[in-house]
Chains A and B, each alone.
Chain A
Amino acid sequence: MRNLLSAGFLRLFRSKCLYVTLAVMAVIGAVEPIVGYAKMAELAAAGAEDAAVSLDSRFFIFPLLAGILLSAFSALFVGAEYSGGTIRNKLVAGHSRPAVYLSNLILCAIAGVLLCLGYIAAVLAVGLPLLGPLRTPLPLTLWYIFCALVMTAALAALFTMISMLCQSRAVTAVTCISLAYFLLFLGIFLNARLTEPELYPERQYVEEGRIVTEAARPNLAYVRGTKRAVYQFLYDLPGCHVVQLAATLDRGAPPRLPLCSLAVIILSSGAGMALFQRKDLK
């Protein structure tokens, strides 16, 4: 296992794919505060009362980007073991299948963490001088970063499972990226459905010079019962809960989110290893 990891790290730090994805994260991290600063200057010039743009809106988007780029990275990095035939060499050299699987999982998780850190370093380096410090209190920020890193590790576990079980690198890439998109858009959809108000409150408006009062009415689109429980369960899945992390920024994400991510890591790795044990590597 130690040899596999050491060989893996050597390959990881020579991987063009890692540096390209890291560069993309760092460039977006650096550009975001610059765009915010330009917007702030434009609003101030237009005489807006509240022209300040906070660094927070630029800082907290990193798990979303990391998830998508990690899906591409994992597929290409792990997929190269199949296309290059090195996965058979590892087994022939006497390494067990679980060790091969776990070493790839650890490498993908570390790559995910590096992508997040690349963004954080760039956004802070450029954003702090331009937009000032974060408005979110430090404990909440650290909790957010912790939840985001655990979620990234859970996504790495899912992508590793797909990459280790599919021999075609292109199909792996398409499946991983599609899964990342699916989870993200599902999260946006679920957030919209779960935050629907149960009742539309009473409202008053002026019509033809008269004040009209519209009574409170129930919202037909409000999700209830079993459907709500299912939606809530899906909303807690890693990838989906990136939206939840952003929505609960002011009060801190519920502790069940990192626990859900942990459960996904254990379950997907268990299932992945069991299937990989039986896989015909040809």
Chain B
Amino acid sequence: MTNLLSANLFRLRKSILFWVTLLLCAAAGAWQPLQTYLEYQRNFPLDAIFFVYAMLIGLVLSVFLPLFFGSEYSDGTIRNKLATGHPRLSVYLANLITAVFVALIFCGGYILCTLAVGVPLLGGPKAPGPLLTSLILSLLMAAAWCAIFTLVIMNFSRKATSAVCCMLLFLAIFGAAITVYQVLDAPEFYPSLQLVDGEMVSEMVRNPRYLQPDERKIYELLLDLNPVGQAVQFTDGNVTRPVQMALCSMGVFAVTTAAGLALFQRKDLK
């Protein structure tokens, strides 16, 4: 396992794709506060733009991970690993750990550049406590993305197919999160204008689309299980269920890893 990890990290260090992606993450992290400052000066707090990376990391990983790990299949190195006596479990876990490490590096690159440019331009974070909580949760969310993509990559022998599947899966998860978020975001009451005795009267009307408490809990769980759903909450600065979100990320990580491992154990590597 240690040998596999060390080989993966060595390959990572030599990968041009890794350095280019990291550079793009860092550039995006520096650009976001700069663009905000140019448009709104200091009227926009750093907290409001800090978690843009949480929305982007899924997309970045859906591109990077299949290209990086997919070449193990296309070059045949995955068979070499097994032929040298490493169990499938170790190969899978070593790739997953490397993927999580990559995700942390990308997030770290983005965050460091956002802070380096954002703090002088927009000022320090207004609420460092909640920001730190969201930061930890967002890293757990990034790990959940890694587990999802590793499941796909390790079980598709073709690099192109796994890249297409990861990117389309990202879009499907994104669409699902936005749908759930819109349902949850419906207001309980909305103003309705009515004509009474020739005068316009505004009256607050109950919204039939507003979810009842039991239904709301189910939708909140669905939103927290979805990595993009969590990212939307971080960017909105509206993290009200941190424990549930952490448990959901860990749950997604554990379930997808177990499923991926079970499938990979039976996979015919040809």
Q: Which residues of A contact B (CB under 8 A)?
A: 43, 46-48, 51, 68-69, 72, 75-76, 79, 83, 169-174, 177-178, 181, 220-221
Contacts and interface: CB of A to CB of B under 8 A. Distances in A.
Q: Give the interface size bracket for B toward A.
A: 10 to 19
B171 A68 contact: yes
A72 B168 contact: yes
A230 to B, nearest CB: 16
Interface string B170-212: 0100000000000000000000000000000000000011000
Interface in B59-77: 59, 63, 66-67, 70, 74
A75 B208 CA distance: 45
A221 B36 CA distance: 12
Contact of A46 (B59, B63, B159, B208): B208
Contacts of A79: 160
A43 B209 contact: yes
Given A174-B67, A178-B63, A181-B59, A169 B160 contact: yes
Nearest to B212: A46
B55 to A, nearest CB: 11
A69 B163 CA distance: 13
A132 B67 CA distance: 46
A71 B155 CA distance: 22
A169 B209 contact: no
B168 A68 contact: yes
B78 interface: no
Contacts of B70: 170
A169 B159 contact: yes
Contacts of A75: 160, 164
14 contacts: A43-B208, A48-B208, A51-B208, A68-B168, A72-B167, A170-B66, A170-B67, A170-B74, A170-B159, A173-B163, A174-B66, A174-B67, A178-B167, A220-B40
Contact of B208 (A47, A76, A172, A220): A47
A174 B59 CA distance: 11
Interface in B90-124: none
B34 to A, nearest CB: 17
B161 interface: yes
Nearest to A172: B160
Interface string B201-225: 0000000110000000000000000
A218 B167 CA distance: 41
A51 to B, nearest CB: 8
A178 B209 CA distance: 35
Contacts of A177: 163-164, 167-168
A46 B74 CA distance: 55
A76 B171 contact: no
Contacts of A72: 164, 167-168
B35 to A, nearest CB: 12
A68 B170 CA distance: 12
